[in-house]
Chains A and B, each alone.
Chain A
Amino acid sequence: SQKIEQNSEALNIQEGKTATLTCNYTNYSPAYLQWYRQDPGRGPVFLLLIRENEKEKRKERLKVTFDTTLKQSLFHITASQPADSATYLCALDMDMRFGAGTRLTVKP
C-alpha cells in the first residue's frame, strides 16, 4: 500500500533562515502533490500544488519541488518568520491521503 513520510515530526529554526520540509512516498506514482498548513485546532489550509511534470513551483516565500525519480517533494519557506510556525502536511492526489506532518517552529 502507498505510504507517505514526512521527514521529521518537528523542525526548529531561527527567524530569517530557510525551512526545508521533506515528503517522501512509496508504492505510488501521484499525478500531483499538495502542501497544506494547519494551525492548532484548525482545519488545513491549502498552500501549493505541484504536478508530476513540474519540477518546481513558487508562491511568494514558498517553493515546492517534486522529484518523481526520488519519490520526494521538498517544501521551502525562505526568510522564515515566527508567524510561519505551524504544522505542514503533504497530500497525494485525489485520494488526499496526508503525511503525518512536520511541526515547524520559527524562533525570533
Chain B
Amino acid sequence: GAVVSQHPSWVICKSGTSVKIECRSLDFQATTMFWYRQFPKQSLMLMATSNEGSKATYEQGVEKDKFLINHASLTLSTLTVTSAHPEDSSFYICSASPAGSSYNSPLHFGNGTRLTVT
C-alpha cells in the first residue's frame, strides 16, 4: 500500500516552455504533499508544501510564480515549471503522507521526474 505515482518519469522541453508534473497518491488520500528538487549527487531540497484546497507554502528562495503548485484533490498535486530554462533542469520528486496519519508518519515518495531543458 501507500503508493505514490509521479508522471512523467522524464521530460525534455525547450527553453521558454512550461512543463507540468503530476503526483498522485494511488491508494490513499493525502491532504499534504511535498515537492522536492534534487541536483546530481546532492540531497533533496524542499521546494514547497502543497495543501489540498489551499495555496502552497513555498520555501525561501523558491519562486512561486515560476513553480506553480495545484493540489486540487486529495489524491493529486501538480507542479508546473513555467518558462523553463536550462538551469531548471533537475530531478523533481514529490511525497505524500496519508490523511489522518500521525504527525510522525513516514512519507511515501514518487519515483521522480527528470526534467531536461534544452
Interface residues of A (CB under 8 A from B): 9, 31-32, 34, 36, 41-46, 49, 51, 89, 93-101, 103
Residues in B neighbouring A99, C-beta threshold 8 A: 43
A94 smallest CB distance to B (angstroms):
6
Interface presence of B12 (CB below 8 A) = no
The A interface is mostly helix, strand or loop, or mixed, namely loop
Contact of B107 among A41, A46, A51 (CB under 8 A): A46
Contact: A42 with B104, CB < 8 Å? no
Contact: A95 with B46, CB < 8 Å? yes
Who on chain A is nearest to B2 by CB? A46
Interface presence of B112 (CB below 8 A) = yes
Interface presence of B6 (CB below 8 A) = yes
B1 smallest CB distance to A (angstroms):
13
Residues in A neighbouring B91, C-beta threshold 8 A: 41
Which range contains the number of B residues in contact with the other chain?
A: 20 to 34
Given the interface contacts A41-B112, A42-B111, A46-B106, does A96 sit within 8 Å of B46 by beta carbon? Answer: yes
A70-B108 Cα distance, complex, nearest whole Å: 29
Q: Which of B104, B108, B111, B114 has the most CB of A within 10 A?
A: B104
Q: 1/0 per position for B11-53, CB-CB distance to A under 8 A? A: 0000000000000000000000010100001111010000000
Interface presence of B93 (CB below 8 A) = yes
Contact: A43 with B104, CB < 8 Å? no
Contact: A44 with B104, CB < 8 Å? no
A98-B44 Cα distance, complex, nearest whole Å: 6
Who on chain B is nearest to A48 by CB? B106
Contact: B43 with A96, CB < 8 Å? no
A32 smallest CB distance to B (angstroms):
5
**17 A-B contacts, Cβ less than 8 Å apart?**
A9-B41, A34-B106, A42-B111, A42-B112, A43-B93, A43-B111, A43-B112, A44-B95, A44-B109, A46-B106, A46-B108, A49-B104, A94-B103, A98-B36, A99-B43, A100-B43, A103-B41
Contact: B110 with A43, CB < 8 Å? yes
